[in-house]
Structures are given as C-alpha cells and as structure tokens.
C-alpha cells in the first residue's frame, strides 16, 4: 500500500512539473518610483511616489537561452569550504557583493528568453542580433527590486522550468548511438 502511494505521489509530482514547464511560471515585483503630476502645474509641485506591480513570465528556454544561462551559471564560483567555516558571514557578504549583479542577469536572461534577440530576415536567411540594452534594463530592474528570499524562489523556478533533466536525457540518448569504441577499418601494414 505504501509503495503505491509513493508511485502516485511521483506521478503527481511529474505531472505538476510537466505543467510548470509547459505553461511557464509568472512572478511579480513592485517597482517604486517618483513622477511628476500631470498637467502644467505638475512642473511646480512635489513629485508623487508611485508603486507599480509588474508581472514577468519565465518559460521553458530554447537551446540558445539555455546555453546563455549555462554560461552565466558556470561563471558563479562558490567556495564551499569557506561557507562551512567559522567565517561564514564574511564569506556570504563577499558572495553577495560579487554575484548579486550576475544573479540579476540570470533572472533577466530567463525572463527574456528568445526576446533577447532582434530577429530579422535577409535574403531568405534569419539573422539574430543581441539586444544588450533590453537585457541591461531588466538586469538593472531586478538588481534593485528583488530580495534574496524572492531570488531563491525565482532561482528554483528557473531551474525547474529549464528542464535540464530532459536536456540531459536527450544528450544521453544521442550519445547512446555510439555503443562501441571506434574501430580501425584500414589495417596498417607496417
């Protein structure tokens, strides 16, 4: 009875993960800024503070987006021995100073996905041009608005939606075609 419950729980978890990957994940942030009041007299009045809720979606990345995310992930270096030492707080502060902007860029890259590129067609061929300004704007927004607890949740979302399991299984499947060591078809007559 217990094993059927475990199997059912695994099936439910798998279906929930598939739904999450297929639909993507949305999250929102509150952006606070000051703006002038409308009209001519707005020039002479004090600026009003406005809070605006912005909603973003993280969808399953394409191979190109996954490649860009992987480059950013590989650049993040954590020394686990220092994190387990008595000087944990100092190490955490150094990590925050060093990696905070990079993590904001990871979130921005995951949100942009293929919108990072401006795609045009020339002579029957598609041309992808990076839009670094769009990435910089989103990175800056996330850098100034996301808290560490929100970052942890978003990082889990990005990892789940990235579907690295299926990507790894696809690599395994394609490499399985080569089941034996290469053989030398031409005999050397030395």
Give residue-wise pLDDT tens across range 147-166.
988 998 999 889 888 888 88
How many angstroms separate the CA atoms of 146 and 101, rounded? 11
Give residue-wise pLDDT tens across range 42-79.
566 777 888 899 999 999 898 889 899 998 888 888 87
Find the length of the chain: 190
In-domain check, residue 185: no
In-domain check, residue 88: no
In-domain check, residue 178: no
Range of the domain at 150: 63-76+101-164
In-domain check, residue 173: no
- Examine the pLDDT at 12 and tell me if it is beyond 60: yes
Average pLDDT for the chain: 83
N- to C-terminal Cα separation, the chain: 68
**Total domain count, the chain:** 1
Provide Rg for the chain, Cα atoms.
24
- Examine the pLDDT at 88 and tell me if it is beyond 90: no
- pTM summary value: 0.73
In-domain check, residue 24: no
In-domain check, residue 183: no
pLDDT of residue 108: 94
In-domain check, residue 190: no
């Amino acid at each position: 009875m217990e094993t059927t419950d475990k199997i059912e729980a695994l099936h439910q978890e798998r279906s929930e993960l598939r739904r999450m990957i297929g639909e993507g994940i949305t999250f929102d942030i509150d952006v606070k800024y000051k703006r002038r009041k409308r009209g001519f007299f707005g020039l002479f009045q004090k600026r009003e503070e406005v809070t605006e809720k912005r909603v973003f979606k993280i969808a399953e990345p394409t191979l190109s987006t996954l490649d860009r995310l992987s480059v950013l992930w590989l650049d993040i270096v954590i020394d686990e021995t220092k994190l387990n030492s008595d000087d944990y707080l100092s190490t955490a502060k150094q990590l925050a100073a060093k990696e905070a902007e990079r993590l904001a860029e990871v979130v921005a890259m995951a949100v942009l996905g293929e919108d990072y590129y401006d795609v045009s067609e020339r002579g029957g061929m598609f041309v992808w041009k990076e839009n670094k300004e769009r990435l910089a704007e989103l990175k800056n927004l996330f850098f100034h608005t996301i808290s560490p607890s929100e970052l942890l949740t978003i990082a889990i979302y990005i990892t789940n939606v990235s579907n690295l399991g299926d990507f790894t299984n696809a690599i395994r499947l394609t490499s399985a075609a080569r089941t034996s060591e290469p053989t030398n078809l031409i005999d050397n007559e030395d």
